[in-house]
């Protein structure tokens, strides 16, 4: 039930700190170490390459999961859009492991790939919010998101739960390979949960930003580099699906290769900067669009902030920044939709689970 909340989406955004803490608890043993079913760890470590398959928001989570697994466990990962996989099947490595990421566990496009790769005799792990869902039943292994039911069509808490679970899987896989992380993931995820809470308490600020940038605009761009680019893709998807504003997520350096032609006076550009190694270059990209009249909204992480930044994110471990950076984007989309009189929880043309291919 949504209780005193006007919309499920807002409730589910607010649940993210709690869900993050619940995930830490569910994937922790008595000795307070993070732990994942040993069969899953063995399957991940036996793989010479991981193929993540997903759709929509879950695909965006997969892009970040790839970074966790490659950076920490050093296993190569490819991320594929489910509906494209069958038509353009990649050349598979000798010992692949498939990871299906699906909030509902019912997405037909993802299931079609699961059926196909099972026929080829490959192993699959499903990361899902729904125990007993089709993708969970038909895969060899399941990791649950423990996010509680997600009712709003726009996925929010499932996305951050997917990131948290993927980070846990990557950390445990890294350990299995004899590479322990340079930081304590449990502790850092706890800091993430606290930061999410701080952000959820800043709704007025998000509403202001939504009014200032999105009250009447026709289009918008989200730019970032590295994982900020992937978070921008998710921010753009949220804005599109509930406010019907045409929004695109772009890699900061790619705009100038064509899309910059769309920048007009006042075009909103949400720029994310949470990564020190790309901070200067994304700020360079912002200057390029500002010179063409764009209206910039820079969201940066504490420690990287500059004077004109519109919003500063509380500091968390750099590699976990997507879990935090997405929260203001979810809230801004929510308020943009609200102010444009859109049906936040049930946007037009969309269903919560897409059971047709
Ligand atoms: C976006 C959204 C969709 C889903 C996609 C996959 O907010 O909800 O893009 O993420 O349809 O759904 P699942 O994760 O259930 O496979």
- Which residue from 56, 81, 154 has its CB within 8 A of the most atoms of ligand 1, so it is best to mutate? 56
pLDDT tens digit sequence for 213-245: 999 999 999 999 999 999 999 999 999 999 999
User: Which atom of ligand 1 is found nearest the CA of 354?
Assistant: 11
- Which residue from 57, 82, 102, 138 has its CB within 8 A of the most atoms of ligand 1, so it is best to mutate? 57
- DSSP secondary structure string for all residues of 89-100: PPPPPSSEEEEE
Could you give the C-alpha distances from 80 to 86, 170, 278, in angstroms and in order? 10, 18, 25
**pLDDT score recorded for residue 62:** 98
Ligand 1 centroid distance, CA of 58 (Å): 6
**pLDDT score recorded for residue 82:** 98
User: Which atom of ligand 1 is found nearest the CA of 128?
Assistant: 14
The interface predicted TM-score (ipTM) is: 0.99
Is a pLDDT exceeding 90 seen at residue 44?
Answer: yes
Is a pLDDT exceeding 90 seen at residue 344?
Answer: no
Quote the mean pLDDT of the chain.
96
pTM (whole model) above 0.95: yes
Is a pLDDT exceeding 90 seen at residue 347?
Answer: no
Ligand 1 centroid distance, CA of 235 (Å): 14
Helix axes 227-243, 321-339, angle to 10 degrees: 20
User: Which atom of ligand 1 is found nearest the CA of 155?
Assistant: 7
Mean pLDDT in residue range 294-323: 98
Residue pair 166/145 in contact by the 8 Å Cβ criterion? no
pLDDT tens digit sequence for 128-148: 999 999 999 999 999 999 999
Ligand 1 centroid distance, CA of 294 (Å): 30
Q: Please tell me the residue having the least CA distance from ligand 1 atom 16.
A: 102
pLDDT tens digit sequence for 279-307: 999 999 999 999 999 999 999 999 999 99
Is a pLDDT exceeding 90 seen at residue 272?
Answer: yes
Q: Please tell me the residue having the least CA distance from ligand 1 atom 11.
A: 56
User: Which atom of ligand 1 is found nearest the CA of 159?
Assistant: 10
Q: Is 26 a catalytic residue?
A: no
User: Which atom of ligand 1 is found nearest the CA of 55?
Assistant: 6
Whose tokens are 């494209």? That residue is: 84
pLDDT tens digit sequence for 326-335: 999 999 999 9
Helices (H) and strands (E) in the chain, counts: 13, 10
Mean pLDDT in residue range 26-39: 94
Q: Is 337 exposed, middle or buried (0-12, 13-18, 19+ CB in 10 A)?
A: buried
Distance CA 67, CA 61 (A): 10
Ligand 1 centroid distance, CA of 135 (Å): 14
User: Which atom of ligand 1 is found nearest the CA of 352?
Assistant: 8
Distance CA 173, CA 247 (A): 36
**pLDDT score recorded for residue 32:** 87
Is a pLDDT exceeding 90 seen at residue 42?
Answer: yes
**pLDDT score recorded for residue 353:** 81
CA dihedral 56, 18, 43, 135 (to 10 degrees): -50
Is a pLDDT exceeding 90 seen at residue 356?
Answer: no
Distance CA 216, CA 257 (A): 27
Ligand 1 centroid distance, CA of 241 (Å): 11
Residues touching ligand 1 (Cβ under 6 Å) are 55-58, 102-104, 107, 110, 154-155, 237, 241, 353-354
Whose tokens are 């299931």? That residue is: 111
- Which residue from 61, 103, 347, 357 has its CB within 8 A of the most atoms of ligand 1, so it is best to mutate? 103
Nearest in space to 170 (alpha carbons), one of 203, 208, 147, 143: 143
CA 225 to chain centre: 15
- Which residue from 55, 128, 138 has its CB within 8 A of the most atoms of ligand 1, so it is best to mutate? 55
Angle (CA) 334-335-336 rounded to 5° is 95
Angle (CA) 211-352-104 rounded to 5° is 120
Q: Please tell me the residue having the least CA distance from ligand 1 atom 13.
A: 102
Q: Please tell me the residue having the least CA distance from ligand 1 atom 9.
A: 56
HEC string for 123-135: EEEEEECCCCCHH
Ligand 1 centroid distance, CA of 16 (Å): 17
């Amino acid at each position: 039930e949504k209780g005193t909340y006007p919309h499920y989406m807002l409730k589910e955004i607010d649940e993210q700190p709690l869900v993050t803490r619940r995930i830490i608890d569910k994937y922790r043993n008595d000795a307070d170490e993070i732990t994942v079913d040993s069969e899953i760890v063995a399957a991940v470590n036996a793989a010479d390459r991981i193929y993540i398959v997903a759709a929509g928001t879950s695909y965006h989570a997969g892009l970040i999961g790839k970074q966790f697994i490659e950076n920490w466990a050093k296993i190569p990962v490819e991320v594929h859009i489910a509906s494209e996989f069958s038509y353009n099947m990649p050349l598979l490595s000798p010992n692949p492991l498939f990871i299906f990421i699906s909030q509902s566990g019912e997405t037909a496009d993802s299931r079609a790939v699961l059926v196909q790769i099972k026929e080829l005799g490959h192993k699959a792990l499903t990361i899902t919010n729904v125990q007993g869902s089709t993708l969970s039943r038909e895969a060899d292994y399941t990791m649950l998101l423990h996010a509680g039911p997600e009712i709003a069509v726009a996925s929010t808490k499932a996305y951050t739960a997917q990131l948290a679970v993927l980070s846990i899987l990557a950390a445990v896989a890294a350990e299995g390979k004899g590479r322990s992380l340079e930081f304590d993931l449990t502790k850092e995820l706890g800091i993430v949960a606290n930061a999410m809470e701080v952000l959820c308490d800043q709704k007025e600020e998000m509403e202001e930003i939504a009014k200032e940038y999105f009250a009447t605009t026709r289009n918008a761009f989200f730019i970032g580099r590295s994982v900020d680019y992937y978070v921008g893709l998710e921010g753009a998807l949220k804005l599109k699906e509930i406010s019907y504003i045409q929004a695109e997520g772009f890699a900061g350096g790619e705009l100038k290769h064509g899309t910059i032609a769309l920048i007009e006076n006042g075009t909103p550009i949400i720029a994310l900067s949470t990564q020190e190694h790309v901070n200067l270059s994304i700020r360079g990209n912002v200057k390029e669009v500002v010179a063409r009249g764009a209206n910039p909204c820079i969201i940066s992480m504490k420690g990287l902030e500059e004077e004109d930044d519109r919003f500063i994110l509380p500091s968390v471990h750099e590699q976990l920044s997507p879990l935090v950076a997405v929260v203001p984007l979810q809230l801004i989309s929510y308020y943009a939709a609200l102010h444009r009189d859109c049906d936040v929880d049930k946007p037009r043309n969309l269903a919560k689970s897409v059971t047709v291919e």
